[in-house]
């Protein structure tokens, strides 16, 4: 499911996997990228969530705890899958990968549940414009994550593409964490965002360039997608989005009639 290399192709076609790996000299570069991704999530969410859990002062709805648990589990599975690939346990990596890809759907569902909770809370303040603008930003994250996840499944038998797609998909998920890094500025400036957020992808790109003298197109597309995610933010304040979001708002503001007995 997650980052692997030509080893997978060796297993698939019956060749000696130890001879099939073009990444053998530095197979753990993807593990470094996975650990940095996890570090970004922990650092970004520490002040507002993880730190408060440690101090016992966190007070959020249960659905947010569920969303956090699902997200943390995804990161753990991501790291475990990278370890499997980096240590040559490719068959296990592939078996577990089928379930992890399915778990990606749970990640999306949990994200939608958290978005629904957050949108409801913001509507309750009476600031509909702010709530709708927030809704755009959070839905945007899933809209960009889902295609990379789907592409990762489609290209699961092409490990050189697959592993890179899954790195990009997982890095996309930590965007909210970087948004909360107030030490970078409030809001975080675009140049700092694009310097810090894609660091795991940059690590993998440098590895590509050093070992292959080129950067894989998936990384280029990924960085372009991540930049686009930041550049489209003004759409959340546009009249076009406000008109579209009013349909969603109407659903949330419509009281549910009691079922007659």
At residue 60, the pLDDT reads 86
User: Which residue do the tokens 């959340």 mark?
Assistant: 236
At residue 255, the pLDDT reads 57
Contacts of 9 (CB under 8 A, 6+ apart): 15, 20, 159
Contacts of 247 (CB under 8 A, 6+ apart): none
Q: Is 214 helix (H, G, I), strand (E, B) or coil?
A: coil
Q: Which tokens hold the place of 202?
A: 């940059």
For the range 96-101, what are the long-range contacts, defined as Cβ-Cβ under 8 Å and sequence gap of 24 or more? 96/1, 97/1, 97/2, 97/156, 98/1, 100/1, 100/2, 101/1, 101/149, 101/152, 101/153, 101/156
**10-residue mean pLDDT series, the chain (261 residues):** 40 39 56 96 95 86 94 96 89 92 96 95 92 95 96 92 96 96 93 97 95 94 97 94 91 61 51
Are residues 144 and 229 in contact, defined by beta-carbon separation less than 8 angstroms?
yes
At residue 238, the pLDDT reads 93
| φ/ψ (deg, to 5) at 95 | -65, -45
Q: Is 155 helix (H, G, I), strand (E, B) or coil?
A: coil
241/138 Cα distance (integer angstroms): 13
**What are the structural domain ranges in the chain?**
6-252
Q: Where are the alpha helices (DSSP H) in the chain?
A: 6-12, 17-20, 29-45, 51-55, 62-86, 90-123, 128-154, 159-173, 175-179, 190-196, 199-212, 217-231, 239-253
Q: Is 198 helix (H, G, I), strand (E, B) or coil?
A: coil
């Amino acid at each position: 499911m997650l980052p692997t290399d030509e080893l997978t192709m060796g297993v698939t076609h019956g060749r000696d996997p130890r001879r099939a790996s073009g990444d053998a000299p530095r197979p753990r570069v993807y593990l470094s990228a996975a650990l940095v991704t996890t570090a970004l999530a922990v650092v970004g969410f520490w002040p507002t969530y993880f730190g408060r859990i440690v101090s016992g002062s966190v007070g959020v709805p249960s659905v947010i705890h569920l969303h956090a648990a699902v997200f943390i589990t995804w990161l753990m599975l991501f790291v475990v899958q990278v370890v499997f690939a980096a240590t040559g346990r490719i068959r296990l990596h592939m078996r577990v990968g089928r379930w992890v890809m399915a778990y990606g759907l749970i990640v999306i569902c949990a994200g939608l549940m958290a978005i629904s909770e957050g949108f409801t809370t913001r509507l309750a303040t009476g600031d509909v414009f702010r709530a709708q603008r927030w809704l755009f930003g959070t839905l945007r994250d899933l809209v960009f994550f889902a295609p990379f996840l789907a592409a990762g499944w489609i290209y699961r038998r092409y490990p050189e593409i697959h592993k890179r797609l899954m790195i990009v998909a997982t890095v996309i998920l930590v965007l909210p964490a970087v948004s909360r890094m107030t030490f970078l500025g409030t809001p975080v400036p675009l140049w700092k965002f694009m310097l810090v957020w894609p660091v795991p992808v940059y690590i993998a790109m440098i590895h590509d360039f050093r070992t292959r003298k080129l950067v894989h197109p998936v990384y280029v597309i990924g960085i372009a997608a991540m930049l686009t995610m930041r550049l489209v933010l003004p759409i959340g304040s546009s009249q076009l989005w406000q008109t579209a979001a009013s349909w969603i708002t109407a659903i949330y503001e419509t009281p549910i009639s009691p079922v007659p007995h």
